[in-house]
Amino acid sequence: MDLIGRGNALKSLALVLAASRWATADSLSGSARTERYWDCCKPSCSWSDHGRFMGDPVESCGIDDAPLTDFTAGTGCNGGSAYSCATQSPWAVNDTFSYGFVGVYIDRRTEDHWCCSCYHLNFTEGPVAGKTMIVQAHNSAYDTDIDDNKFTIAVPGGNTSFAGACSDQYGVPESTFGVENQGVRTRDDCQNLPEPMIGGCMWRFDWYENAENPRVDFKRVSCPSELINITGCIRRDENDFNSTSSASLTRSTSHSLVASLFMGGALAIFLQLL
């Protein structure tokens, strides 16, 4: 192979290297699947050590839906006294834009990476294609079965609870919250929910058009006060997450180092073959 050919080969290897480095460093945006959930459990980002927070973690509530000040209280899904707050429900600003709260799983990351981050979501399919949301990660949606990112949108009555925690929190039968994997069936069924859950339940049939797990494009953005004022949670990297997020730095550095070593070895073998 002549020198020009070798130069081109080097150039494409450099491109592959750059691409792999970029892909691992940038886990603040991408494509993801969505689900609906509302399990009434204390959200995972309500524990102080589940993220690097400037002050308090995500607010949780008692059985009366009143905010708790004790962030060490155990989850109502396991006999404790802390539940989710109905204020962390979605709401529409206009026909194409809503605010809300989500459980997040970013592929091969841990919740330190997302707890209390905010994301811009563009729906790319289903009846809501073209609509957008800005959401705050108040919970985690770990899923090791998938090689994908996941956002579970917190929608009251939007899915059944896992442990009957909603029934405990509001003192109503579990059937009030609908059927497995679906939640309530119709907009009218929302009226049977505990009062604080009704508005968010209707959002699903109005703005969200009862969409079934549409995919989204996501990108981390600065949290608007509309959301922070509700959860009370601010990350320490809130103002510099795209440059100095240490959570992503550690991982991406070691990742790209391994990638570089691997690609360097491949390059040496490749050049010997020329």
Ligand X SMILES: *[C@@H]1O[C@H](CO)[C@@H](O)[C@H](O)[C@H]1NC(C)=O
Q: Are 99 and 79 in contact (CB under 8 A)?
A: no
Range in contact with ligand X (rule: CB under 6 A) among 17-25, 55-63, 77-85, 212-220: 212-220
Smallest separation (angstroms) from ligand X to the CB of 268:
32
Would you call 193 helix, strand, or coil by DSSP? coil
Report how many residues bind ligand X under the rule CB under 6 A. 21
Range in contact with ligand X (rule: CB under 6 A) among 1-9, 66-74, 83-91, 224-232: 224-232
Q: Which of 181, 269, 272, 274 binds ligand X (CB under 6 A)?
A: 181
Which C-beta is closer to ligand X: that of 94 or that of 272?
A: 94
Active site residue 145: no
* Bridging pattern class, strands 118-123 and 216-221: antiparallel
**Helix spans in 145-245 (H):** 165-170, 198-205, 225-231, 241-244
Can residue 159 be called a binding residue for ligand X (CB under 6 A)? yes
Contacts of 58 (CB under 8 A, 6+ apart): 43, 45, 46, 88, 115, 116, 138, 139, 231, 232, 233
Q: Are 174 and 149 in contact (CB under 8 A)?
A: no
Kindly identify the residues of this chain, within the stretch 54-73, that bind ligand X according to CB under 6 A. Answer: none
Which C-beta is closer to ligand X: that of 81 or that of 122?
A: 122
Which amino acid would we find at residue 5? G
Q: Which of 21, 35, 98, 237 binds ligand X (CB under 6 A)?
A: 35
Catalytic residue among 2, 39, 147, 240: 39
Q: Are 76 and 63 in contact (CB under 8 A)?
A: yes
Smallest separation (angstroms) from ligand X to the CB of 22:
11
Q: Which of 148, 174, 217, 238 binds ligand X (CB under 6 A)?
A: 217
Handedness of CA 145, 131, 197, 46 (dihedral sign): positive
Can residue 243 be called a binding residue for ligand X (CB under 6 A)? yes
Which C-beta is closer to ligand X: that of 1 or that of 19?
A: 19
Q: From residue 244, how far is each of 55, 122, 241, 252, 259 by CA, in Å?
A: 19, 25, 6, 12, 21
Which C-beta is closer to ligand X: that of 91 or that of 97?
A: 97
The site map against ligand X for 94-113 (x = CB under 6 A) is x-xx----------------
Which C-beta is closer to ligand X: that of 102 or that of 263?
A: 102
**Strands in the chain per DSSP E:** 29-37, 91-94, 97-105, 118-123, 132-140, 149-154, 216-221
Smallest separation (angstroms) from ligand X to the CB of 6:
33
In this structure, what DSSP letter does residue 132 have?
A: E
Which residues contact ligand X (rule: CB under 6 A)?
Answer: 35-37, 93-94, 96-97, 120, 122, 159, 181, 212-213, 217-219, 225-226, 229, 242-243
The residues annotated with a catalytic role in the active site are 39
